[in-house]
Structure 1
Amino acid sequence: MTVAQPATERAALPQRLGEADREETVLGPVALVTDVGLVHEHNDDAAAAGTAVDAGLDVVALAVCDGVSSCDDPQLASAAAARSGVEALLAGHAAGLEGAAATSDALTAAAAAVVAVAEDHHLRSPSCTYTSALVVARADNTFEITVGNVGDSRAYWFPSGADSLGQRLTLDDSWAQALVSAGVADEEAAMSDPRAHMLTRWLGADANSGPWGTSAVSTLTTAVPGVLVVCSDGLWNYLPTAAELAPFVTAGDPLSAARALVAHALEAGGRDNITVAVVAVGG
């Protein structure tokens, strides 16, 4: 018996690595925007997305990656991780894997892709962060949102409803988060530490490639439609909490929301590359 495979579409940014200051695209319910910012000469961020319709139900896969600027050609690492991660998410779902298993496999695929970049280009450990989301509409009218995370890009969920301020779905792999998790400092104090953004985990040839920790993969199941945001720290540095992000993402379509978020980051200083993925989930 032949099993029909879901029809898929894909998009990735930047399309021309290191050449464009600003790129944006829309793929079904997903909007991707990336901007070099106002300080850096090159954009080391990357994003990718894929959509599928499986048995009449929508599937969305996406990834946002932030290249580590202290290594060689970080834009190659972030692009490889984002694209490989999305391909693996779609393949895992098509193969019948649960969201958590598909996400874990995609993390492994993204990590391997970054290592391959170093081997192919003889570079000094290009590395990046990686945050993914797999959104699956289910037959019982619920939505399953599974996120994967290594590094300090983030995912946030904003359910529809006037009283909802949303929630953060990921934990950073950073010095600041380590201080908070250990009870040594609250988030405000931890973020004021000069080492706050120092990564404790990343993807790269010089990184620990697994097994993934308990905070690396998580799943949210909801019957309420809403908006999912995945972004690099070039955005959340200026809007770190879900409550601060909410006014930008709950009004308008995904592209308008993504543009508004990037515009805010630029107006606030644009000290880093800025990449945002906004997904309309249901509704």
Structure 2
Amino acid sequence: MDHVVTCLACGTVAGEGAAFCEQCGAPLGVAPALPVVAVEAADPVAAAVCRACGGSIAADGYCELCGEPAASARDHWSELPSAQVGGVCDRGRRHSKNEDAMALAVSGTTAVLVVCDGVSSVADSDIASLAAARAARDVLVKGSTPSSVGTWSALLVTAAAAADRGIADAIGDMAERTEPPSCTFVAAVVDGPTVVAGWLGDSRVYWVPDEGAARQVSVDDSAANEMIARGVPRARAEASPEGHAITRWLGADAETVVPSTATTRAQGPGWVLVCSDGLWNYCSEAADVADLLHRAVDAHGPAPDAIAAELVRWANEQGGHDNITAALARVDLDTVLTDDNAA
């Protein structure tokens, strides 16, 4: 079998003989220093090497040889708020920008994972998704004392509303826009063995136990899911041209921003996976997701950011047709979550 080289920064499969990644410009074979917290939306990165041709990046942020813009920190980042919680958000191989966003936190014994996927056909949806994810995370962290399922469900409704307001605050006046920026929303609160999820759109929450059957906790708000409800096989519905049309979302044109909620309770150790469709496009069934995640754990160990990076790398290897986000929280009934960044 030929030796396959992948970029350690973004997971892109490298061309034969390449010294630098054609996707992000990182030197091949050199592990990146990953930030612990997310970057601000659209913050530029002073990249020395062009991701397209290997040329030098000029002071204006464009390649001196081919004119390609420099890689942005928004293209690929990692968050690791604790040893049990982490994630990776990546542009993928085909899109010109990353319109996915995530915001992760650990507060006391509670983990919060939020993923938003900007609608790529509308300008500034990358700004909307990041503003929404962070606004929701902040609401959930403030309310993160051990609580009942009902209280968490109500707080997820409040968090979605805050996320919608966050979009409006970040974008500003949208009166003249016929298509305002919008995004999906999914959040999971992990409170001991209890996992409470809330969502609008088709970003997902999976529960993947170490042993036993995995399950999708969320239920997509999408045309594909409506087709499945009518008896169309899942694979055909999700592959149909209209299948990824979402029926609920966040943004100025949303009919409602009240999320659906669902709960599962772990009976043993396992993983909560929150992800965008850039991952599950290639691996939709819960059993297939579990197999992929378990193989990533076997290959890379228990660090959640390393597992997420492998999931992103795998999705890019399948084609990377969309932005990709994978966020994970470990549920181990013998281990208490701790915030490793606490003073």
- Counterpart in 2 of 1:224? 268
Alpha-carbon separation, structure 2, partners of 1:221 and 1:165: 13
Which of 205, 218, 223 is the aligned partner of 1:175? 223
Whether 1:166 and 2:214 are equivalent positions in the alignment is: yes
State the structure with more CA Rg: 2
Within-5 A mapping of 1:20-99: 20=73, 21-28=75-82, 29-53=84-108, 58-94=109-145, 98-99=151-152
Q: Is the 8 A contact 1:13 1:34 kept in 2?
A: no
Letter paired with 1:187: R
User: Which has the larger displacement, 15-24 or 167-176?
Assistant: 15-24
2: distance between equivalents of 1:93 and 1:257?
A: 25
Tell me the equivalent position of 2:171: 118
Q: Structure 1: give runs of 5+ residues left out of the alignment.
A: 1-10, 138-142
Give 1:114-263 correspondences, 5 Å limit.
114-119=167-172, 124=177, 125-137=180-192, 143-161=193-211, 164-181=212-229, 183-212=230-259, 216-250=260-294, 251=297, 252-253=301-302, 254-263=304-313
SS of corresponding position for 1:107: helix
Change (3 A) 1:44 1:12: farther
* Contact persistence 1:118–1:205 (CA under 8 A): no
Q: Distance in 1 between matches of 2:160 and 2:238?
A: 27
Amino acid at match of 1:155: V
Q: Mean Cα displacement is larger for which, 93-102 or 107-116?
A: 93-102
Say if 1:63 and 1:132, in contact at 8 Å, map to a contact too: yes
Change (3 A) 1:122 1:49: farther
Counterpart code for 1:178: E
1:67–1:128: 8 Å Cα contact kept in structure 2? yes
Pick closer, same or farther for the CA change 1:26–1:93 going to 2, 3 Å.
Answer: closer
CA distance in 2 between partners of 1:266 and 1:14 (Å): 22
Structure 2 counterpart of 1:105? 158
SS in 1 for 2:98: coil
- What are structure 2's unaligned runs of at least 5 residues? 1-35, 44-71, 335-343
Q: Is residue 271 of structure 1 aligned with residue 326 of structure 2?
A: no
Q: Assess, with a 3 A threshold, how the Cα gap between structure 1 residues 51 and 26 changes in structure 2: closer, same or farther.
A: same
Cα distance, 1:26 vs. partner? Answer: 1.2
Give 2:288's aligned amino acid: E
- Residue identity matched to 2:237: A
1:160 Cα shift?
Answer: 2.2
Deviations along 1:126-182, one digit per CA (max 9) or x if unpaired, are 100011001112xxxxx1110011111111001122xx241111111111011112x
Q: Please report the TM-score for the alignment, with normalisation by the length of structure 2.
A: 0.70
CA distance in 2, matches of 1:94, 1:107: 19
Cα deviation 1:16-65 (Å, max 9, x = unaligned): 53622221121111111011111111101100011111xxxx11111011
**How many percent identity over aligned positions?**
36
CA RMSD of aligned residues (A): 2.0
